Amino acid sequence: MTRDEVIQAFDAIRVWHNGDRRAVHKPLLVLLALSRINASAQQTMDWNDAEPLLKELLEEFGPDGSATTRHYPFWHLRTDGLWKLDGPSTILNRPAGATPTLAELRQNHVRGGFADPVYAALKDDPELISIVAQRIVEAHFPETIRGDVLDTVGLSQIEYFYATKNLQRRRDPAFRAKVLLAYQYRCAVCGHDLRMGHQPIGLEAAHIKWFQANGPDDVPNGIAMCSLHHKVFDLGAFKILPESFVMVFSQHLNGSEAVSQRMLAHHRAGMILPQAKEYLPAPVNLEWHATQVFKKPVRPD
């Protein structure tokens, strides 16, 4: 396969969004397999080796509870034509819908990896690995956490080849300015409003429903946040209740006392509201974030 064919093949399975639910299983498995090729030219991996890593990735970057179905992509990616499995024929010859159980994959040491033509194209081409990995993280994760996803998967050393021009939707360049104005240039969580002259520092327009999940570039889908709150919001450390706009934090957030207390001082507090009603976060977007990004359980009060 040529480079273009490989890129097109991965793009073809890019339509991984399952309605409004985040479907990150396949992208995370593909990244893991790319990392294996990159590190050791390994084509296939034993399910027993892949499982703990996939579980960790899904727990950290997937929607709540997605780790319970961590074996699905290992089996189903074969249908996309990019993946192959090795193992006992009693398992491999099953119909695509008959997903083996976790125990069956473990006991039979089923191995999975990219199909031969894909592997052949990737194994001596680290730049192609980077391009494919970069396109995947761009398609599925907001900018705040792309680096973390690549670090965790073991691809942090790849050079970044920005391929945003190939994403089908373009961002509205005015989104940031509109959101910052709506919130009067301060973080809706902590009030951070540091400036150099007129230039806000470390202030960003967070998408509530991710751009990667077709969240719109309009003010009711944006909240002005400082870099730190933007990042922990994208990681699911807190959610915002529709109607009351109260912030509720996750039990997963922790740190030394001084640091975590500063963050947790906002637990059950109201966010700083935008200057006009029409700018308020839309409940539908907050609900998407609460189910697809927020990491349960909620902290006790």
Which residue ranges make up the site for Zn ion (CB under 5 A)? 187, 189-190, 192, 226, 229
Q: How far is the CB of 264 from Zn ion (least distance, A)?
A: 13
Give 254's contacts (C-beta < 8 A, 6+ positions apart): 260
| Residue 176 or 192 having the CB closest to Zn ion | 192
Q: How far is the CB of 227 from Zn ion (least distance, A)?
A: 8
Q: Report residue 9 as tokens.
A: 């093949």
Q: How far is the CB of 194 from Zn ion (least distance, A)?
A: 10
| Residue 176 or 229 having the CB closest to Zn ion | 229
Work out the burial of residue 160: count CB atoms within 10 Å of its CB; fewer than 13 is exposed, 13-18 middle, 19 or more buried: middle
| Residue 22 or 229 having the CB closest to Zn ion | 229
Q: How far is the CB of 134 from Zn ion (least distance, A)?
A: 28
Q: How far is the CB of 249 from Zn ion (least distance, A)?
A: 13
Asked if omega into 88 is within 30° of 0 (cis), the reply is no
| Residue 33 or 206 having the CB closest to Zn ion | 206
Q: Are 25 and 32 in contact (CB under 8 A)?
A: no
Count of beta carbons in the 10 Å neighbourhood of residue 29: 26
Q: How many angstroms from the chain centroid is the CA of residue 101?
A: 25
Q: Report residue 88 as tokens.
A: 């006992």
Q: Report residue 258 as tokens.
A: 């001084």
Gap between the Cα atoms of 94 and 196, Å rounded? 63
